[in-house]
Amino acid sequence: MQIFIPQEANPKETRVAAVPAAVAKLVKLGAVVQIEAGLGQSINFPDDDYTAAGATVVTDHKAGLAAADIVMRLGKPSPEEIKGLKPGCIHISHLDPFNEAPLLQELAAAKVSAISMEMIPRTTFCQAMDALSSQANLAGYMAVILAAAHSSKIFPMMTTAAGTIAGLQAIATAKRLGAKVTAYDTRPVVEEQVKSLGAQFLKIDVGETGQTKEGYAKALTAEQIQKQRDAMKKTCAESDVVITAAQVFGRRAPILVTAEMLDAMRPGSAVVDLAVDTGGNVEGVVRDEVIVRKGVKIVGRGNLPGRVPLHASQVYAANLVALVDAFWDKKEKTFTLDPNNEIMKSCLVTHGGKIVNEKLIAKAS
């Protein structure tokens, strides 16, 4: 099978879908790998490093797409690119499927089998494929580095973090820098993880919470969110840094830090909103800007993994390779796409000319 890895369409994106080491693993499986010229320039890998790993460099973007059996990338394809894919092509990338209905219709109409990396289940077996977690891990690290840069105080101090994967990395990084950390998550199971990192866990009784079978947080009711805000207000007021990372897949991020809570914080404090790409957890946050409200800095930098593009690309490429390897027929040297496979049922969104994911079908109806 022929795999094509194009450059990213978004000029602001610093991450890429493959590093030379990942290409070498795909070639070892028996795949024919083509990369678009200049793929690794943002992470300082010249084309020669990819050819040494076994890839062929393609200068014609359209030709690479048209010939591919599998396209692997980070971001979404454009409508023009979809039209250039051959029927039966497998397209693997982030797709934001709950918010991109027209894109899914175009993929289905082109008879492309599209796999959404956001919908990989968060199970033990799929851990190596879980791109959301791998990127969130880096985002959590960068959140603390940004918080330290924008705070008027040095660590050690009190920091509060929210969220699971990103939050855990934020906790670990803040602890290494000497901070006293308090963390909160809606899922009781996270308490043990937080304490294992040496942080305090803020308990808030908001009633029944939990997570989906895929490992994502369940959305809270309006009443539960208000209880959460009331309990967090005192902790935020005592904190020098607040880091938020609460997201509900397919929905706008919930507002956790209100204007009233910001007003209660000390001047010189900093709030870093990791959910800014999906609307933000902090009232008044602006994507890709740092604003100051009554002496409190609100940091809304988007795409934090893109600030460490080398490692972000390495782990994302490893996620893609793990996915391909899991469904690779070693004898036939081909990717076996079984729509009835439990993992594929979760992440395959279009196939055979239609939208096939049950959650997306239910949302549309």
Residues classed as catalytic: 122, 127, 130, 133, 216
Contact 168, 140 (CB under 8 A): yes
Nearby residues of 36 by Cβ (< 8 Å), 6 or more positions away: 4, 5, 6, 7, 57, 58, 59, 61, 64
Distances (CA, A) of 3 to 38, 45, 70, 87, 117: 17, 19, 5, 15, 17
From the number of C-beta atoms within 10 Å of its C-beta (0-12, 13-18, 19+), residue 147 rates as buried
Residue of 210, 283, 206, 218 lying closest to 247 (CA atoms): 218
Residue 52 half-sphere exposure, CB side, CA atoms within 13 Å? 8
Residue pair 76/93 in contact by the 8 Å Cβ criterion: yes
**Three-state secondary structure call for residue 234:** helix
Sheet of 70-72: strands edge to edge? 56-58, 32-36, 2-5, 70-72, 90-93, 113-116, 348-351, 354-355
332: DSSP letter: T
H-type alpha helices, 151-200 = 165-176, 190-196
